[in-house]
Structure 1
Amino acid sequence: LHRHEWTAEEGSINGGWVGPYQGIVQCNTFIADFQQLDYPSFGLTEADKADHIGQLRTLRAWYYLFLIDFFRHVPISTDNVTVVDQSTPQEVFEFIEKELKESLPGLPLIAKTGRFNQAGAAALLARLYLNAEVWIGENRYADAKKVAQDIIDGVYGSFSLDPDYRGPFCDGLTERRSPENIWVFPHARNIYEFGWMYDAFMHYQARYSLDNPRGGWNGIHLSPSRDLKGNLYSYKLGSPYEKFSDDDFRKQPFRTTPTAYEGFFLIGQQYAFDYDKGYGFTDEKILGTEEWNNQPLHYVDQVGRFSEGTEGLAKGSHVETGEENSGVRFIKFPWLPDSKGLFMNNHVAEIRLSEMYYIVAECLFREKDIAGAAKMLDAVRKRNFPESKWAEHSYEQNLSKLTEDEFVDELGREFLGERHRRTDLIRWNRFGEEWWDKPKDTRDNTVYPIPARALNANPLLEQTTPGF
């Protein structure tokens, strides 16, 4: 996947098909059930019925957004009995748009955690319009801007940017709810656990440094910013950690504090959790267990077989040549102390108001209104810097900095780890460019192939992706 060498037999590609359709099947089932229920006999109203069905139609549309993005030509299934063939991207687009427009008025302005409100449905419309030029060849940026601006202006409910850069990622930990979060995935230990999101990034020894009852799988880290000699890579894309300014609060090494935590990354020497204070670290160094067994565990923003000396470094820097300390670890969705009952209890923001600001900014940028785009971006970005440093980082005060490349980098910083990057790079015509351990694409990889297993399961399907 990293090198864009996938085939129609790839398990991950199949997962991108099966996952959304599993959700769609569930939505279809409940919609059919709810449509047959006599709501007044349960002490509920017809308005409740419209809300519940609207919630499900909106959720189903969210799943279809993945499918049109990944595959374009997909079946539109609204029941779980009829086997249907593929619809065109235009038909899928129009189906999503219709579902959202019809459902939105019946949704509440304020919804329970995990449920759609009007702003959530409107935000999906904004995403649909923002990507229309790629998905169906129609420029709908004006529509995207209008819907996103309406959300900002409170047409679909009252939301505001969180003044704290950590705020959107802390819902569920306390009674506080981020005013920025429009739709979140409920997350609570032993109830709705996103274990993979925690485990994939963390080292086996993380239980000792972060105060939790489980170590990680040590399987994923950020793409490296530096080569084997410690020099910054020159690729325009990638190097996510070093795309953050040293003045940016988010770039701080992660640590818990008496009241919260700081930073989005684990880098450098890892230390034991301080149980006496109940936060932070002691001076005790955490040790490695594999290549660096019984040696200090020190995360580096590089990938290579450093433990093997010259012979190991000769193997180069590749996906296959990582070690247990390779790469910066991502902890934007924080691992907080289990001893305080906080571990795995934070909700996960799926739609944030900041995304609407960035959608408006992108549309303005495409209209050549750079100053207008800078204003929208800065409204979000200001919380990431000390007041004393803001002037040198503000786009409004340094308008020449806001180039197209910088805009793409800024999207990467703000939405790192929030599943935006592939779609953004495709929209900005950069998905096929080179980055660490990936040469420039020699084929169009912007649309995944229809999975072989899906073709085998449904005789009405055809391989519609060119090159496969």
Structure 2
Amino acid sequence: MKDIFNKIIFSLAISMFIVSCHDDLDQSPIDPDSFTQEDVFADASTAKGALAKLYASLALTGQEGPAGQPDIADIDEGFSQYSRMLFNLNEITTDHAVVGWGDPGLPDLHGLYWSSSNDFTEAMYSRLAQVVSFSNSFIANASELSETEVEAYIAEARFLRAFAYYNLMDMYANVPLTTVISTELPMQSNRTEIFAFVEAELLEIQDILLAGNEYGRVDQVAAWALLSKLYLNAQVWTGTDRFADCVIFSDKVMSSSYSINMNDANGNGSAYDELFLADNNTNGAQDEFIYALNFDGLQSQTYGGTTFLVHAAIGGNMDASEFGVNGGWGGLRTTKSLVNKFTVDTDALNASLGTQSDWGLVGSATPNGWDGPDAEMHETGTNQYAIYVTLVDGEFKFRFAEDWGNNYGDNDADNTIEPDGSNIAVTAGTYYITLDLDTLTYTIDLYLGDKRGMFHSDGQNLEIESIPPFEDGYAVKKFKNVDSNGNQGNDAGGDFVDTDLPLIRLAEIYLNYAEAALRGGGGDLGTAVNKINELRTRAYGDTSGNISSSDLTLDFVLDERSRELYWEGQRRTDLVRYNYFTTESYLWPFKGDEVNGLSVPDYRNIFPLPINVLSTNPNLTQNIGY
């Protein structure tokens, strides 16, 4: 399906979309080789090609590939792709990301001081408005066809239109609501009206959409999933909570045929990274993707999408070949606020080992250095000891009761200890270290913990003193253009990426259920814990990271959303829902353009309507504060 849709997209110009805002929709294009509306909507088969263009309007940027004949004017075409704009507006504005590029308007986003003429907020509005326009045109024209399957195509178009309005409502609040082609300037609607429209559309099409669809197209479950997202945010958008409805529709999604990917196809100890590899349409990840944007390095080229997410995150001393591309753009990093969400709680891990003993670790690598006190190990059996400990570059030895008269080292670096032996060298990291006094041996294993935290720290500073230098802030290694066997994607030149990008996946719905249940929406908290533990078992590769019901709080769920969904375009919406986005309740580096972060006016919970839209439509009023 991925290849079929991409080929359809590139073989059809589908000029009916170009003229869809005009009354004279029967006009023919000048180019005799172009398809006319009559050609596109001649039958169900050709209408399916037009449907592909609707999907492409969120994945691609124009009619010629990565550049040339853009859909949106007045901005670099590569910048204008939907998911790249989603990253700019919903991730760069948060604790999840910073970007070092100085393009006008881009630094404003992380600093939360954008103006009403910001190029990127305008581009996203234009992109979403275009999806609405394309969808309205498709629905009007496809409705003239009589084939049975066309009804499902129209339902898909209505979903995409509802998805566009979901985004518009979230980001811009009070936007025009248009469902038909017209030359009249639309009136402004409010969030409550937009919410009601999106809800009604999804409820009406849920039984018209196919129960299961080809990969790359939405189905009945996608409608339920978008309703789950809609109801989770209802209180912010309408003033009325709908958490009970969120639980209901989340449960419907969780009971569907979609499943969490547990296939560790590359054998690295976690099945999480498979979600973001070049073969995520076949390696098992596809079973978790409810709605994803499809990319192919040859058939669907764009400088947005995952091409952007892979290239832009590479810089410093990172090896681009590890990511299946020909080089990095040196732009995107993350803040310590995200990195610290993956910090290992060694105290909790050690508490599970057993009774604290008099044996411990001492040395330059340990928290208290050679002077001690020692990092005390725990007795796991007779003459058996263990400890989880975070070390720095340096050396250590085993010591009893902080007495140098009874210490062990390793003379031959062979994991066998000798009395008063040589110091044991170690590099920085969190380790699980065992000591066996019966055999006089030890083990030292790197404890990876939550493997969702995929960061490049070598040569990078955790603290960001200034945003432009790439070396300030850890780099993110989440997205790659290699498959589960380590092979590069289809584009041999390494320019464009194959990796599909999930916009809605089952893991998000698990977290929606848990949050809505905690907020009083009913449901079962035991189920919520089990679902989150399913995600954490995948993340850790075992059950060591599992939680109990006492751990399940709203802030825990928010942090878990951060760990599970970072860089997938969700974060700003989540922080707004928690009232953390603009307030001083939660600060992160360079929030409000200050190194340590500060609060900003609450009107920045939404973006301004574009100046050019206001100038052409006097029916619209700018959002407060802009």
Q: Please indicate, yes or no, whether the TM-score normalized by the shorter chain is above 0.5.
A: yes
Query: Which residue in the other structure is 1:325 paired with?
Result: 471
Distance, in Å, in 2 between the alignment partners of 1:203 and 1:333 is 14
Structure-1 separation of matches of 2:345 and 2:479: 21
Residue in structure 1 matched with residue 534 of structure 2 by the alignment = 379
For residue 242 of structure 1, what is the aligned residue in structure 2?
A: 340
Matches within 5 A, 1:403-418: 403-418=553-568
Does residue 98 in structure 1 map to residue 200 in structure 2? Answer: yes
**How far 1:173 moved relative to its partner?**
5.1
Distance of 2:613 and 2:224 partners within structure 1: 31
Larger CA deviation: 121-130 vs 331-340: 331-340
Instruction: Provide the rounded CA distance (Å) in 1 between the counterparts of 2:527 and 2:600.
Output: 34
Higher strand share: 2
Percent identity of paired positions between Structure 1 and Structure 2: 28
Q: 2:326 aligns with which of 214, 217, 225?
A: 214
Question: Which has the larger displacement, 81-90 or 120-129?
Answer: 81-90
2:354 corresponds to 1:354: no
1:450 aligns with 2:600: no
Q: Can you list the C-alpha shifts for 1:136-157, whole angstroms capped at 9, x where unaligned? A: 1111000011001011112xxx
Counterpart of 1:300 in 2: which secondary structure? coil
Distance 1:75 1:208 in 2: 44
Q: CA deviation at 1:63?
A: 0.5
Does 2:275 align with 1:197?
Answer: no
In 2: Cα distance, 1:450 partner to 1:410 partner: 32
Query: Which of 165, 190, 197 does residue 64 from structure 1 map onto?
Result: 165
Counterpart AA for 2:471: N
Q: Compute the displacement of 1:372 (Å).
A: 5.0
Aligned residues: 384
**Pairing of 1:45-444 with structure 2 (within 5 A):** 45-46=147-148, 48-81=149-182, 82-154=184-256, 158-163=257-262, 164-170=271-277, 172=279, 175-178=282-285, 179-193=287-301, 194=305, 195-203=307-315, 208-210=320-322, 212-223=324-335, 225=336, 239-246=337-344, 265-269=454-458, 298-303=459-464, 317-319=465-467, 322-336=468-482, 340-342=487-489, 344-367=497-520, 371-387=526-542, 390-391=543-544, 393-396=545-548, 399-432=549-582, 433=584, 434-438=587-591, 439-444=598-603
Give the Cα–Cα distance (whole angstroms) in 2 for the partners of residues 377 and 127 of structure 1. Answer: 17
Does 2:177 correspond to 1:29? no
Q: Which residue of 1 aligns with 2:625?
A: 467
After superposition, the Cα gap between the structure-2 partners of 1:167 and 1:64, relative to the gap in structure 1 and judged at 3 Å, is same
Q: State whether residues 202 and 223 of structure 2, in contact with CA within 8 Å, keep that contact through their aligned partners in structure 1.
A: yes
In structure 2, distance between residues paired with 1:134 and 1:14: 23
Q: Tell me the distance in 1 between the aligned counterparts of 2:323 and 2:579.
A: 42
CA displacement, residues 35-59 of structure 1 (integer Å, 9 cap, x when unaligned): 223x4xxxxx32x111110000001
CA contact (8 A) 1:247 1:385 kept: no
Distance 2:181 2:486 in 1: 45
In structure 2, C-alpha distance between the alignment counterparts of 1:171 and 1:300, rounded to whole Å: 29
- Map Cα deviations across residues 185-222 of structure 1 (whole Å, 9 max, x no partner): 11110222332222221228756542645322211111
In the alignment, the residues of structure 1 paired with residue 156 and residue 455 of structure 2 have an alpha-carbon distance, to the nearest angstrom, of 38
Residues 159 and 180 in structure 1, CA contact (< 8 A), matched pair in contact too: yes
Would the aligned equivalents of 2:261 and 2:284 in 1 still touch at CA under 8 Å?
Answer: no
Say whether 1:4 aligns with 2:112: yes
**Alpha carbons 2:514, 2:557 under 8 Å: kept:** no
Q: In structure 2, do the counterparts of structure 1 residues 144 and 214 end up closer, same or farther at CA, with 3 Å as the change threshold?
A: same
Q: TM-score, normalised by structure 1?
A: 0.76
Distance 1:386 1:460 in 2: 55
How far has the Cα of 1:83 moved from its partner? 2.1
Name the SS for the 1:184 alignment partner.
strand
- Name the stretch that deviates more: 191-200 or 113-122: 191-200
Match of 1:20 among 119, 128, 134: 128
TM-score, normalised with respect to structure 2: 0.57
Shift of 1:11: 1.5
SS of corresponding position for 1:358: helix
* Structure 2: gaps spanning 5 or more residues: 1-108, 263-270, 347-428, 430-450, 491-496, 592-597
CA distance in 1 between partners of 2:152 and 2:112 (Å): 42
Partner secondary structure for residue 502 of structure 2: strand
Amino acid at match of 2:258: F
Q: CA deviation at 1:174?
A: 6.6
Q: Which amino acid aligns with 2:168?
A: L
The alpha carbon displacement at 1:341 in A equals 4.0
Is contact 2:324–2:488 with CA below 8 Å preserved after alignment?
Answer: no
* Inter-partner Cα distance in structure 2 for 1:192 and 1:15: 20
C-alpha distance 175-212 of structure 1, shift in aligned 2 (>3 A): closer
Mark the CA change 1:353 to 1:263 in structure 2 (over 3 Å): closer, same or farther: closer
Distance 1:365 1:373, change over 3 A: farther
Larger Rg: 2
Letter in 1 for 2:295: H
Deviation at 1:446, TM superposition (A): 1.3
CA contact (8 A) 1:171 1:348 kept: no
Superposed CA RMSD in Å reads 2.7
What is the identity, as a one-letter code, of the residue corresponding to 1:94? A
- Helix, strand or coil: the match of 2:241? coil
Describe the shift of the 1:161–1:134 C-alpha distance in structure 2 as closer, same or farther (beyond 3 A): same
